[in-house]
């Protein structure tokens, strides 16, 4: 039998091919966007896409998450699962149409309402198709990630560089690439074979909705935690400030990309191994290594924040100041990744209500701290609010998940890493003398502290493979 560590490693490699290559290629488009869009336009497109990202799980009733979770469960027929997903999206989008008058009253995005609706409709079906394929055909899921990215690049070149469509072109590029992805997956995986409306019955629909519906407010609260600061920065400071804030977010996005690749593979392994008597040790070992790697990546990004922003902004003065917001956002994203990992426990145990409650706590704390810190500290106040809210949720989830799966957490090691990252952030933000030297020494200290955990897991995988050789 294949080692669960080896299987996790194998799935991570597969998802890396699709997710990492696709996300990195899109990330490399940032200088392209900053060249063809003003800082105010860049702030507007960020709000449009973030609003769409909120609406997609809301309109689809969170059904894609249920499709993935139940698609891994052999007790349910695949046709019933996929058809239930399609039905939920059609019903949800029909209801969403009645909210057009309300959407037209939102000042920032009202003139792009039609585009937003198309974006949401196509996005719902892409999320459904990709999550269903991820549960059944991991390699096809990975290939689709690369294909979709190629389409994003081509459509961006067409709409922004050739036709100069600005904000509309940016949104259209995403819509067209998502549509190509849906057509590709339906064709290659023959997803139409899994549509049979006679299979939509209460014994499938009720468990899926019971799992999915609590994820709707959970997704809303995650969105509030992650994005509410964008709206507050826009209203309190201006669209240009939000444009710089959005650019600064691109650096921690690199950390999030790495985390997403791993979490996608990890969730599959966690669900498959849910009956393993050594599940707690499996979770403990994997989280320890994951945490070590995230701290290393975070310290590296803080050290290079000025260089990375300069490259992304192509030296454009109006964007370059964004580097000052990177260190705190990196720390916030690091804890966001830990929170997501803890959420995998809720996925395994189907505790979506607990997931909802913890995200509610994060959203409320984020909004309250934004109202306090943005007027006081400006853009970095929003970054601090986001970081503190994720730390709060992480602390609560550590406590709650231990009751479900008795994992062991290295609180001392975590505290030391946070202390070092906080010091490194302060050194860079306030540009104290010899800041690069001090920041480099802190990076070295973080590396020394965390390498042992990484080597332990790698050795564990290699030892398992050697035993089976």
Q: Which tops the pLDDT comparison, 18 or 195?
A: 195
Extract the tokens encoding 402: 């231990």
Q: Which residue is listed with tokens 């922004």?
A: 160
Among 224-228, 342-346, 456-460, the least confident range: 456-460
Q: Could you tell me if 273 and 144 lie in one domain? A: no
- Are 386 and 263 part of one and the same domain? yes
Mean pLDDT value across residues 276-291: 80
pLDDT grade for 467, boundaries at 50, 70 and 90: very low
The range of the structural domain enclosing residue 81 comes to 32-213
Whether residue 455 is predicted with pLDDT greater than 70 in this model: the reply is no
DSSP E strands, 6-84: none
Q: How far is the C-alpha of 286 from the C-alpha of 243, rounded, in Å? A: 36
- Give CA separation, 238 vs 112, 233, 391, in Å: 19, 6, 27
pLDDT tens-digit profile of 321-356? Answer: 889 999 999 999 999 999 988 888 887 777 777 878
- Same domain, yes or no, for 390 and 451? yes
Q: 92 and 41: one domain?
A: yes
Per-residue confidence at 242, pLDDT binned at 50, 70, 90?
confident
Contact 98, 166 (CB under 8 A): no
What's the mean pLDDT in 80-86? 92
466 pLDDT band, cuts 50/70/90, is: very low
* Separation CA 217–CA 208 (nearest Å): 16
Distance CA(229)–CA(371), nearest Å, equals 9
Q: Compute the average pLDDT of residues 375-379.
A: 87
Indicate whether 193 and 273 sit together in one domain: no
Kindly state whether residue 13 falls inside one of the protein's structural domains: no
- Residue 302 maps to a domain: yes
Per-residue pLDDT reduced to its tens digit, 397-406: 988 888 888 8
End of a domain among 213, 247, 278? 213
| Max CA separation in the chain (angstroms) | 70
Say if residue 465's pLDDT is above 50. Answer: no
Written as six digits, the tokens of 180 are: 């190509």
Which one, of 313, 316, 317, 293, lies nearest residue 305 by Cα? 313
> pLDDT at position 154, please?
93
Domain boundary among 213, 248, 271: 213
How is residue 177 written in tokens? Answer: 């690439």
* 227 lies in some domain: no
Q: What are phi and psi of 355, to 5 degrees?
A: -60, -45
Q: What is the pLDDT of residue 277?
A: 67
Q: Which residues contact 448 (CB under 8 A, 6 or more apart)?
A: none
Identify whether residues 304 and 200 lie together within a single domain.
no
- For residue 5, what pLDDT is reported? 62
The answer as to whether 192 is a domain residue is: yes
Question: Is residue 142 within 8 Å of residue 18, measured between CB atoms?
Answer: yes
H-helix segments, 316-410: 317-320, 326-349, 352-377, 379-404
Q: Is residue 17 over pLDDT 90?
A: no
* 266 plus 182 within the same structural domain: no
Is 5 contained in some domain? no
Cα dist. 364→225, 305, 373, 382 in Å?
A: 8, 29, 14, 14
Last residue of a domain, one of 146, 178, 213: 213
Count the domains in the chain. 2
Mean pLDDT of 140-160: 88
The pLDDT value given to residue 2? 45
pLDDT of 332: 94
Q: Phi/psi zone of residue 175: left (φ > 0), alpha (ψ -120 to 50 degrees), beta? A: alpha
CB atoms within 10 A of CB 139: 12
The predicted model gives 298-313 an average pLDDT of: 90
Are 177 and 269 found together in one domain? no
- DSSP class of residue 76 equals S
Under 8 Å between Cβ of 150 and 207: no
Q: What percent of the chain has pLDDT over 70?
A: 88
pTM of the full structure? 0.72
Exposure string for 162-187, b = 16+ CB within 10 A, e = fewer: eeebbbbbbbbbbbbbbbbbbebbbe
In this predicted structure, the answer to whether residue 438 has a pLDDT above a threshold of 90 is yes
pLDDT level of residue 105 (50, 70, 90 thresholds): confident
19 within some domain = no
Segment 166-195 shows an average pLDDT of: 94
Span of 162-171, 266-275, 302-311 with lowest mean pLDDT: 266-275
Contact (Cβ atoms closer than 8 angstroms) between residue 335 and residue 390:
yes
Average pLDDT over residues 435-446: 94
Query: What SS3 class is residue 4?
Result: helix
Mean pLDDT score of the chain:
84
On whether the CB atoms of residues 4 and 273 are closer than 8 A, the answer is yes
Residue 220: inside a domain: no
HSE at residue 192, side-chain half, CA atoms within 13 A, is 5
Do 102 and 185 share a structural domain? yes
224 inside domain? no
**59 touches 92 (CB < 8 A):** yes
Q: Could you give the CA distance from residue 108 to residue 93 in angstroms, rounded to a whole number?
A: 22
Do 284 and 392 lie in a common domain? yes
Model pLDDT, residue 468: 42
Chain CA centroid to CA 390, Å: 14
Asked if residue 467 and residue 414 are part of one domain, the reply reads yes
pLDDT > 80? residue 223: no
Residues 208 and 243 in one domain: no
């Amino acid at each position: 039998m294949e080692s669960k560590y080896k299987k996790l490693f194998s799935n991570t490699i597969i998802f890396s091919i699709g997710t990492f290559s696709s996300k990195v290629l899109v990330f490399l488009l940032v200088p392209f966007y900053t060249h063809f869009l003003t800082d105010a336009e860049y702030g507007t497109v960020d709000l449009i896409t973030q609003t769409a990202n909120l609406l997609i799980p809301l309109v689809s009733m969170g059904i894609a998450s249920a499709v993935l979770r139940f698609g891994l469960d052999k007790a349910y027929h695949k046709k019933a699962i996929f058809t239930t997903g399609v039905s939920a999206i059609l019903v949800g989008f029909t209801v969403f149409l009645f909210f057009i008058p309300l959407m037209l009253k939102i000042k920032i995005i009202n003139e792009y309402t039609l585009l937003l609706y198309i974006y949401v409709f196509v996005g719902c079906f892409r999320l459904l198709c990709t999550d269903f394929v991820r549960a059944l055909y991991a390699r096809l899921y990975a290939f689709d990630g690369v294909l979709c990215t190629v389409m994003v690049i081509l459509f961006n070149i067409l709409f922004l560089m050739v036709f100069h469509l600005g904000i509309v072109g940016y949104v259209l590029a995403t819509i067209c690439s998502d549509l190509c992805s849906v057509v590709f997956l339906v064709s290659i995986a023959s997803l139409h074979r899994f549509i049979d409306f006679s299979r939509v019955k209460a014994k499938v629909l009720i468990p899926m909705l019971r799992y999915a519906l609590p994820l709707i407010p959970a997704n809303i609260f995650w969105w509030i935690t992650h994005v509410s600061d964008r709206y507050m920065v826009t209203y309190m400071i201006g669209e240009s400030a939000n444009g710089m804030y959005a650019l600064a977010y691109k650096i921690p996005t690199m950390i999030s990309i790495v985390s997403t690749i791993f979490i996608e593979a990890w969730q599959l392994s966690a669900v498959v191994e849910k009956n393993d008597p050594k599940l707690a040790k499996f979770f403990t070992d994997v989280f320890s290594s994951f945490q070590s790697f995230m701290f290393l990546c975070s310290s590296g990004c803080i050290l290079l924040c000025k260089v990375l922003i300069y490259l992304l902004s192509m030296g454009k003065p109006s964007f370059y100041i964004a580097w000052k917001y990177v260190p705190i956002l990196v720390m916030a994203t690091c804890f966001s990744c830990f929170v997501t990992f803890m959420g995998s426990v809720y996925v395994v145990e189907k505790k979506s209500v607990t997931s909802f409650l913890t995200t509610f706590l994060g959203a409320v704390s984020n909004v309250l701290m934004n109202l306090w810190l943005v007027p006081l500290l400006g853009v970095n106040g929003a970054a601090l609010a986001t970081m503190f809210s994720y730390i709060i949720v992480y602390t609560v989830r550590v406590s709650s998940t231990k009751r479900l799966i008795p994992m062991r957490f290295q609180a001392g090691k975590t505290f030391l890493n946070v202390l070092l990252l906080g010091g490194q952030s302060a050194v860079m933000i306030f540009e104290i003398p010899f800041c690069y030297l001090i920041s480099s020494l802190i990076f070295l200290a973080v590396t020394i502290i965390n390498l042992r955990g990484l080597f332990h897991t790698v050795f564990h995988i290699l030892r398992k493979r050697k035993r089976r050789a």
